[in-house]
Structure 1
Amino acid sequence: MSGGVGWLVSLAGAGLVVAVLRDVFRTLWQPSGRGEVSRWLTAGLWRLAGRADGRLAAVTGPLALALVAALWTMAIILGWALIYWPHLPSGFSYGASLNTAERAGFLDAVYLSAVTVATLGFGDIVPADGWLRIAAPLEAVLGFTLLTAVVSWISQVYPALTRRRTLALRLALLRRAEPPADRLDPVTTAGLLTSLAADVIQVRVDLTQHAETYYFHDGHDDTSLAAMAGYAADLALQGQTSSRAEVRTAAAMLGRALDDLAVVLNRQFLRLKNDQAVAVLHAYAVDHDRGSRPAGN
């Protein structure tokens, strides 16, 4: 490979690495952003699960996380392989058992990139040129950073799912108890509605920061916020007819929190022309109705 073409190939590899790092940053560290790869994969798998009558719904979220992490890793390996390839074999030193002339192909560059990003460092092929002696350790650092970032990502996703499912279960138990509104102490009612509003706000923040959690199917109605959101809206409406000011205020807070949640759901996932909260929450329930019937409205 001629010098000019070789450097173009290396630049293409560097561009691929930069694109992957940008997507990782947008997905994991940008508070209100989401990378293109994770958005495309998770939304695509969710649509596929819907066409398969919901049979894939239970694994859509975990499978999407695994595929995104695998795609990031493979792209990093491929990008760095393109950086190394034009400089094989002249830019590297080879072990005594290796035939240098036979170790200058693209597969050898992929092998070198893979063992470097995995920080294995077998030592049979090592960089000799000065800039390559900097590039190879940098790839190892990126590989370790990517592994750490993915583990951190997963550790943040599941607590968000737990908070969402806990709110749904609270609503389900409250609906099952059916407390008479006229017999409840106003302070107790106001406190309950305020607490529910705070939980809804937390779910809204979780969806903004971890958009991929939308595509985790919660299964049973009692732990599905999509199924129970309609009941939360009913509670807000009932509370706003109370004769006590503290109850009306708390109910209004719950209603506003649900409106805000509906805005996020519609803007990031559903994209309905009718952006009224009732319509959005109903569409949310329908979109997650994969084997279980929505509750609420």
Structure 2
Amino acid sequence: MTWLPTLAGAALVLYILRDVFHTLWHPTRHGGLSRLVMTSMWRLSARFGGRWRPAGIAGPLGMALVVAAWAVTVAVGWALVYWPHMPENFSYATGLDPSEHAGPLDALYISLVNLSTLGLGDIAPASGWLRVLAPMEALVGFVLLSATVAWILGIYPALARRRALALRLSHLRRSRATPRALDSDGGAALLDGLASALAVVTVDFMQYAESYYFYDGDEDTSLSEQLGHASGLADEATEARHPDVRLSASVLRTALEDLAAVIDGRFLRTGESPDRVFAAYAADHGRPAGRRPDGRRP
């Protein structure tokens, strides 16, 4: 029955590689394990929101746990492949008794040595196909390291773009721009810029779904807090006399609808209108829904 743990180990390794693929390189999907860990951390932080969410710990800790789960599962999977073939198909350094170093922990030790590319060599595969598997595990370890770096380098710029858009909306809200000032060429350019930034954030939510589970502690940089103002600007500009402003308002409203569709389809699943989706988004992030320019809540 040596084939049973070998198949189980291979299945674990392939499952993690699939999860890494969907998490990092397939923007229309979300890895099963990473999604489970991130959503669990988010819900846990909601229960202890007084301490956890303002500190923004749910997202970073969730990412660390996902990476740890990837590494541990791959190490266990490869250990299951090695274990049934010990000690017959392995060579041991002088002073090691093969019969005393052929258990599950020894197989896990060999797996961790290969995965981390340490290459200690005190216990090494001796048969042909196992000698091929060992460097393959080292390659998987390198893939996991590269994937972790790429994930970090992708998510944090996405968070910066989201918070920059929220801050821009906060500036507009605090400047109290009048409808008359908005009814101009400058107003049209302003609305176009907001629609463009919203499109970028929408793509970020699609490609880096885990960024949703990062809490924005400051009101002015919280997109969930500021989206109501963007909706209000689109409504006000729809009544403008300037044709370019009305066109830009229509584009902004469409950008808001697309963002609401992505947030609702991937995270909230309310099936409600965009304004209600944004209100649910704000509530999920521990915020009241953002005010419109006239001071009302959406």
TM-score under structure 1 normalisation? Answer: 0.96
Alignment match, 1:142? 140
Q: What SS does the aligned partner of 1:93 have?
A: strand
Match of 1:31 in 2: 27
Equivalent residue for 1:278?
A: 275
Q: By how many angstroms is 1:55 displaced?
A: 2.1
Give the Å deviation of 1:53. 2.8
What do the CA deviations read for 1:241-268 (whole angstroms, capped 9, x no partner)?
Answer: 1011100000111111001100111111
Counterpart mapping for 1:137-286 below 5 A: 137-184=135-182, 186-273=184-271, 275-286=272-283
Paired residue type of 1:99: D
Q: Decide which of 3, 8, 16 is 2:4's aligned counterpart.
A: 8
Summarize the Cα distance change of 1:22–1:38 in structure 2 as closer, same or farther, 3 Å threshold.
Answer: same
Q: How many angstroms apart in 2 are the aligned matches of 1:220 and 1:54?
A: 14
| Equivalent pair of 2:182/2:237 in contact (CA under 8 Å) | no
Aligned to 1:109: 107
- Residue identity matched to 2:282: A
CA distance in 1, matches of 2:68, 2:137: 16
**What's the counterpart of residue 129 of structure 1?**
127
- 1:68 paired residue number: 66
| Separation in structure 1 between the aligned mates of residue 95 and residue 183 of structure 2, nearest angstrom | 83
Give the unaligned 5+ runs of structure 2: 292-296
Deviation at 1:294, TM superposition (A): 4.2
Alpha carbons 2:183, 2:241 under 8 Å: kept? no
Distance in 2 (CA, whole Å) between partners of 1:219 and 1:269 is 20
Matched position secondary structure for 1:49: helix
Rounded Cα–Cα distance in structure 2 between residues aligned with 1:169 and 1:268: 24
Residue number in structure 1 paired with 2:290: 295
- Deviation, 1:293, is 4.5
AA aligned to 1:18 is: L
Q: Contact between 1:221 and 1:294, CA under 8 Å: does it hold in 2?
A: no
Secondary structure at the aligned position of 2:91 is classed as strand
CA contact (8 A) 1:221 1:295 kept: no
CA–CA distance in structure 1, aligned partners of residues 143 and 49 of structure 2:
38
Contact 2:183 2:237 in 1 (8 A): no
3-state DSSP of counterpart to 2:18: helix
What SS does the aligned partner of 1:183 have? helix
Question: 1:80 touches 1:139 (CA, 8 Å); kept in 2?
Answer: yes
Question: 1:166 Cα shift?
Answer: 0.1
Task: Tell me the alpha carbon deviations over residues 108-140 of structure 1, each in whole angstroms, 9 at most, x when there is no partner.
Answer: 000000010000010100110000010000000
Moved more, 78-87 or 95-104: 95-104
Alpha-carbon RMSD: 1.1
Give a deviation string over 1:178-213, Cα, whole Å, max 9, x none: 122213561100000000000001000000000000
- Tell me the SS of whatever aligns to 1:182: helix
Corresponding residue for residue 46 of structure 1: 42
1:127-177 CA-partner distances (Å, limit 9, x unpaired): 100000100000001101110111111100000000000000000011101
Instruction: Summarize deviations over 1:190-240 as a string: whole Å, max 9, x none.
Output: 000000000001000000000000000011110000000001000000010
- Amino acid corresponding to residue 181 of structure 1 in structure 2: P
1:17 to 13, 17, 21: 13
In structure 2, what is the Cα distance between the partners aligned to 1:222 and 1:143? 40
Q: Following TM superposition, by how much is the alpha carbon of 1:52 offset from its aligned partner in structure 2, in angstroms? A: 1.2
Instruction: Write the distance in 1 (CA, Å) between the matches of 2:262 and 2:182.
Output: 33
% same residue: 48
Q: Distance in 1 between matches of 2:166 and 2:181?
A: 24
Q: Distance in 2 between matches of 1:170 and 1:54?
A: 27
Deviates more, 1:181-190 or 1:125-134: 181-190
Amino acid at match of 1:272: T
